[in-house]
């Protein structure tokens, strides 16, 4: 399955779900309907009051100042003051409501995208870059927010004023009105024609921002290699390229976005010209009067001024659309690891079985061929073999990080694909080769995702640590459970990370525990201790130990030899050693 956001193509099937996700987004906005309506009313009030203001002033001048009635002047000043106060309140309400809706929408949108990402399998993260994903969740959603909170109301207001002005123009004089509006028709065609191009350029710009973000992300996360190999120039060069690229696409997008305004202005002026010349012609043919012409010219500008404003809003709209496209790419992703219908249970003795399992990478290379084996309850299994032989892939299939391309993995007699994630993950524990800690305390990391102990006090927890034998491991951290961990910090060694991952997995009490080189960076004295702790696990716990260091597998009940995508039963430890020695060349 192609999870690469930059190469994946929209198919017709996906178009359907595009509509679907648009609907969910709009669905989440429905509760905002009332607020939007209130904002709209507030906007109307401000607009009307702003229009009436000059009329009242004119009226006061004509009727009271010129006739020297100061009383009337004061009265109308009072009326104006009240109007201004109402406008003040309405203006506040409108800006506040619209802004709030925008913020809430941004909130919902970000949540939706993040949630979607959480639904996707590991493969998605292998195919996409962290920086690009961050950029999509943060920058692209913000572009949409900017349009919504800043431009949408103006957009609506402009359109309303334009429609009003257009009706007015046409009703005063149909031919002159139609002539005055004709440039708008050209603009409409122009906009329709140019918009996809503008959107495309903005899309490219947003993509290059994602690339830039990926570049920063990678370089900063790998900074120690850059320093140790004195390749600071590498960072500068790579970033410089991404920066240059972003500059170019931004200029391209900017040039396109800014095309609307001058063109709209030009055609607005053309509209006035048409009114002037055609109007004079009409007057010459005695179909119009000069007085009407003068006011007509004024009304034409109340049509074209908002249109000019539309120009810059339209550019924002295109940016928002381009951003929406990028977000949709994520929302359209579907997890290809679906939940299967619960099949009929073949009661089996084995806790886990592989039936003719093959696995291929997305690029088609098969890395496991027709694997068969059974794991019994309560036994310890060792998977040994040279690096790159398929050990980790096998473990990942057991934990359903991937699905086999052929064959089936049975957990407790049922296809592993029919288990709900929460059921599967309580049964299968997996200590990954590269331990990962979240920033926070050690307590948070050890109890990460642990429903049972989540709310235990430290004192109660300590008892549990004592019972399971994990206590001595915890003592190795300066502040015990409250020691702080920062993922970017090197304050914690890889060995310590492995200890935490070990505790994390053990406290979840899985039926099947996979240790994938889980103790590789831990010293041998501590390793013995871990071994003892493992012995204390309930006798029903099945253990799968993946290692190349043979001392860790001395206690295994059975040893499997994994090499070049095949898994063979090795029998005794001696046998396994022989195989390791003789198959060296195959690594």
Partner 1 sequence: MDKEHKNKKDKANIFGLLKAYRGQVILLIILTLVGNGVNLVIPQIISHAIDSFTEGNYVLKTAIIQFLVAATIIFVFSYLQTIIQTFASERVAFDLRKKLSDKISMQSFSFIQKSNPSKLLTNLTSDMDSVKMFVAQAVTSIVSSIVMIIGTCILLFLINWRLALPVFAMIPIIGVAFYLVLKKVRVLFKRGREVIDWLNKVINESILGSAIIRVINSQQLEYKKFLSANTEAKEIGIGIVTLFATLIPVITFVANLATLTILALGGHFVISGTLSLGDFAAFNSYITLLIFPIIVIGFMSNIIAQASASYERIYKVLKAPDTKDLGLVEKSLQGAIELKNISVLYDGKPALNDVSFSIKSGSQTAIIGPTAAGKSQVLYLLTGLIKPDSGGVSFDGTLIDDYKKEMFHKQIGFVFQDSVMFNLSLRENIAFSDTVSDEDLQKALDTAELTEFVNGLPNKLDTLVSERGTSLSGGQKQRIMLARALALNPKILLLDDFTARVDRQAEQKILCNVMANYPNLTLISVTQKIAPVKSFEQIILLMEGEVIATGRHKDLLETCPEYVQIYNSQLSTSHYETA
Q: Which of residues 4-43 bind partner 1 (CB under 8 A)?
A: none
Least distance to partner 1, CB of residue 407, Å: 21
Rank residues 413 and 495 by Cβ distance to partner 1 and give the closer one: 495
Site size with partner 1, rule: CB under 8 A: 178
Cα→Cα distances 162→149, 153, 169, Å: 21, 14, 10
Subset of residues 522 to 581 that bind partner 1, contact rule: CB under 8 A = 522-528, 548-551, 554, 573-574, 577, 580-581
Subset of residues 444 to 473 that bind partner 1, contact rule: CB under 8 A = 448-449
Rank residues 344 and 488 by Cβ distance to partner 1 and give the closer one: 488
Q: Interacting stretch for partner 1, rule CB under 8 A, among 56-64, 155-163, 189-197, 461-469?
A: 56-64
| Residue 190 within binding range of partner 1, rule CB under 8 A | no
Write the binding mask 472 to 511 for partner 1: x where contact by CB under 8 A, - elsewhere. Answer: ----x-x-------xxxxxxxxxxx-xx-x--x---x---
Q: Which residue has the tokens 């830039």?
A: 212
How wide is the angle at C-alpha 10 spanned by C-alphas 198 and 17, nearest 5°? 105
Q: SS3 string of 62-83?
A: HHHHCCCCHHHHHHHHHHHHHH
| Residue 188 within binding range of partner 1, rule CB under 8 A | no
| Residue 80 within binding range of partner 1, rule CB under 8 A | yes
Alpha helix stretches (DSSP H) within 222-289: 223-228, 232-257, 260-284
Q: Within its chain, how far is the Cα of 333 from the centroid?
A: 11
Rank residues 246 and 332 by Cβ distance to partner 1 and give the closer one: 246
With CB under 8 A as the contact rule, the residue among 166, 184, 209, 474 that binds partner 1 is: 209
| Residue 388 within binding range of partner 1, rule CB under 8 A | yes
Least distance to partner 1, CB of residue 234, Å: 7
With CB under 8 A as the contact rule, the residue among 12, 13, 19, 70 that binds partner 1 is: 70
Rank residues 188 and 436 by Cβ distance to partner 1 and give the closer one: 436
With CB under 8 A as the contact rule, the residue among 137, 320, 368, 562 that binds partner 1 is: 137
| Residue 325 within binding range of partner 1, rule CB under 8 A | no
84's tokens: 């201004």
Least distance to partner 1, CB of residue 56, Å: 9
| Residue 223 within binding range of partner 1, rule CB under 8 A | yes
Closest CA to 516 of 371, 385, 377, 321: 385
Subset of residues 389 to 408 that bind partner 1, contact rule: CB under 8 A = 389, 392, 399, 401
Rank residues 18 and 243 by Cβ distance to partner 1 and give the closer one: 243
Separation of alpha carbons 468 and 462, rounded Å: 10
Rank residues 111 and 458 by Cβ distance to partner 1 and give the closer one: 111
243's tokens: 């920066």
Rank residues 463 and 472 by Cβ distance to partner 1 and give the closer one: 472
Helix (H) or strand (E) run with residue 94 in it? helix 70-119
Plot region of 564 (φ>0 → left; ψ -120 to 50 → alpha; else → beta) = left
Residues 181 and 300: beta-carbon distance below 8 Å: no
Q: Interacting stretch for partner 1, rule CB under 8 A, among 344-352, 374-382, 409-417, 436-444?
A: 436-444
Cα→Cα distances 433→351, 355, 393, Å: 23, 25, 11
With CB under 8 A as the contact rule, the residue among 214, 316, 380, 563 that binds partner 1 is: 214
Coil/strand/helix, residue 508? coil
Subset of residues 149 to 178 that bind partner 1, contact rule: CB under 8 A = 149
Say if residue 177 is exposed, middle or buried (CB neighbours under 10 Å; 0-12, 13-18, 19+): buried
Subset of residues 85 to 104 that bind partner 1, contact rule: CB under 8 A = 85, 87-96, 99-100, 102-104
| Residue 297 within binding range of partner 1, rule CB under 8 A | yes
With CB under 8 A as the contact rule, the residue among 43, 45, 129, 541 that binds partner 1 is: 129
Closest CA to 374 of 354, 399, 396, 404: 354
Q: Give the Cβ contact number of residue 26 at 10 Å.
A: 10
Separation of alpha carbons 560 and 135, rounded Å: 44
Q: Within its chain, how far is the Cα of 351 from the centroid?
A: 38
Q: Which residue has the tokens 């709009």?
A: 26
């Amino acid at each position: 399955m192609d999870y690469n956001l930059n190469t994946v193509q929209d198919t017709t099937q996906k178009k359907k779900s595009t509509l679907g996700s648009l609907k969910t987004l709009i669905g989440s906005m429905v509760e905002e309907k009332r607020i939007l309506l209130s904002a709209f009313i507030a906007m109307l009030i401000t607009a009307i009051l702003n229009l009436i203001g000059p009329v009242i002033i004119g009226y006061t001048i004509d009727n009271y100042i010129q006739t020297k009635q100061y009383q009337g002047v004061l009265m109308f000043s009072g009326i104006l003051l009240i109007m201004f106060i109402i406008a003040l309140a309405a203006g506040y309400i409108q800006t506040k409501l619209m802004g709030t809706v925008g913020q809430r929408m941004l909130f919902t949108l970000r949540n939706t995208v993040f949630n979607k990402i959480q639904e996707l399998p590991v493969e998605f993260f292998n195919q996409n870059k962290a920086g690009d994903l961050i950029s999509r969740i943060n920058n692209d959603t913000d572009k949409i927010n900017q349009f919504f909170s800043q431009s949408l109301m103006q957009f609506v207001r402009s359109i309303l004023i334009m429609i009003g002005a257009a009706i007015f123009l046409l009703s005063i004089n149909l031919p002159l009105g139609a002539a005055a509006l004709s440039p708008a028709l050209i603009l409409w065609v122009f906009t329709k024609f140019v918009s996809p191009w503008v959107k495309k350029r903005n899309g490219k710009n947003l993509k290059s921002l994602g690339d830039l973000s990926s570049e920063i992300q990678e370089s900063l996360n790998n900074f120690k290699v850059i320093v140790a190999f004195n390749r600071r120039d590498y960072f500068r060069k790579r970033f410089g390229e991404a920066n240059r690229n972003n500059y170019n696409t931004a200029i391209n997008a900017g040039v396109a976005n800014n095309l609307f305004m001058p063109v709209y202005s030009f055609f607005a002026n053309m509209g006035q010209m048409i009114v002037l010349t055609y109007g004079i012609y009409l007057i010459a043919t005695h179909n119009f009067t000069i007085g009407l012409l003068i006011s007509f010219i004024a009304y034409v500008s109340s049509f074209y001024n908002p249109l000019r404003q539309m120009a810059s809003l339209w550019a924002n709209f295109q940016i928002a659309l381009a951003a929406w496209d990028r977000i949709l790419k994520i929302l359209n992703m579907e997890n290809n690891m679906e939940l299967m219908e619960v099949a009929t249970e073949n009661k089996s003795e084995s806790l886990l079985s592989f039936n003719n399992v093959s696995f291929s990478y997305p690029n088609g290379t098969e890395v496991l061929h027709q694997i068969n084996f059974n794991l019994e309850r309560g036994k310890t299994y060792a998977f040994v073999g040279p690096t790159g032989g398929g050990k980790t892939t096998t473990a990942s299939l057991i934990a359903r990080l991937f699905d086999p391309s052929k064959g089936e993995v049975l957990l407790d007699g049922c296809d592993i694909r029919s288990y709900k994630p929460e059921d599967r993950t309580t049964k299968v524990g997996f200590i990954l080769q590269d331990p990962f800690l979240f920033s926070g305390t050690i307590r948070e990391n050890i109890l990460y995702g642990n429903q049972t102990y989540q709310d235990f006090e430290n004192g109660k927890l300590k008892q549990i640590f004592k019972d399971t034998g994990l206590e001595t491991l915890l003592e190795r951290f300066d502040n015990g459970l409250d020691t702080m961990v920062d993922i970017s910090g090197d304050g914690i060694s890889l060995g310590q990370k492995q200890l935490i991952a070990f505790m994390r997995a053990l406290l979840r009490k899985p039926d099947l525990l996979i240790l994938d080189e889980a103790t590789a960076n831990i010293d041998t004295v501590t390793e013995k201790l871990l071994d003892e702790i493992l012995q204390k696990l309930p006798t029903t716990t099945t253990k799968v130990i993946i290692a190349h260091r043979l001392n860790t597998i001395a206690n295994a009940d059975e040893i499997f030899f994994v090499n070049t995508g095949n898994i063979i039963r090795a029998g005794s430890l001696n046998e396994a050693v022989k195989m390791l020695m003789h198959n060296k060349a195959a690594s």
